[in-house]
Homo-oligomer: A and B are copies of this chain.
Amino acid sequence: MKSAVQRKSLEANALPAPARRREALRADEPIFDLIELFFFAYRDFVGDADRMLENYEFGRAHHRVLHFVNRRPGLAIAALLDILKITKQSLNRVLKQLLEAGFVEARAGFSDRRQRLLYTTAKGAGLAQELAHLQSEHFVRVLNELPASARGAATDFLLAMIDAAERERVRVPLSRGGARMTASKAS
């Protein structure tokens, strides 16, 4: 079924191995397959969550906020803006809704009380978890139909696709990450 397409790509890949040193790839001819696959893959990937979010009257923007707040408890507004790369006015609309609906809560920073550190509530964490689970299932389905090396390869590929300057920030400040955000400016 899908093997046709897959086979094609695999063949294309199996080019004269030695010819590929460091000048392996030139951009003389556009890499249309990857361009289009990336578009379709992303669209279908976010589609899953989009459909679930409709039940809560939330959109993709809410999802992103909820996700990152959940992953980085104690995240400050400025840090969130920096991750999302949107303006505070844009953020405020969706954040306000999440706060009012009780999915996220804000506490004043301890060392700097101007800050509003964000945390998911139990309810918010639940939804974030549901969404992450849904998207994880998508990945699991995908990875299970690919060789075992696929996960590492996908991780490496996606990481390399991220602007070099951003890759640092991507490495999630797990657990107590956000709290020390106070010093974010300092570093």
Contact = CB atoms under 8 A, between A and B. Distances in A.
B6 A133 contact: no
Given A10-B156, A152-B13, A159-B9, A26 B170 contact: no
A161 interface: yes
A140 B34 CA distance: 11
B27 A133 contact: yes
Given A5-B167, A27-B133, A38-B45, A33 B155 contact: yes
A45 B35 CA distance: 9
Q: How many copies does the complex hold?
A: 2
Contacts of A162: 37, 40-41, 44
Among A14, A34, A129, A154, the most chain B Cβ lie within 10 Å of the Cβ of: A154
Interface stretch (A17-25, A95-103, A114-122, A179-187): A17-25
B159 A153 contact: no
Contacts of A32: 71, 132, 172
A139 interface: yes
Interface in A32-52: 32-45, 47
A113 interface: no
Contacts of A45: 38, 161
A107 interface: no
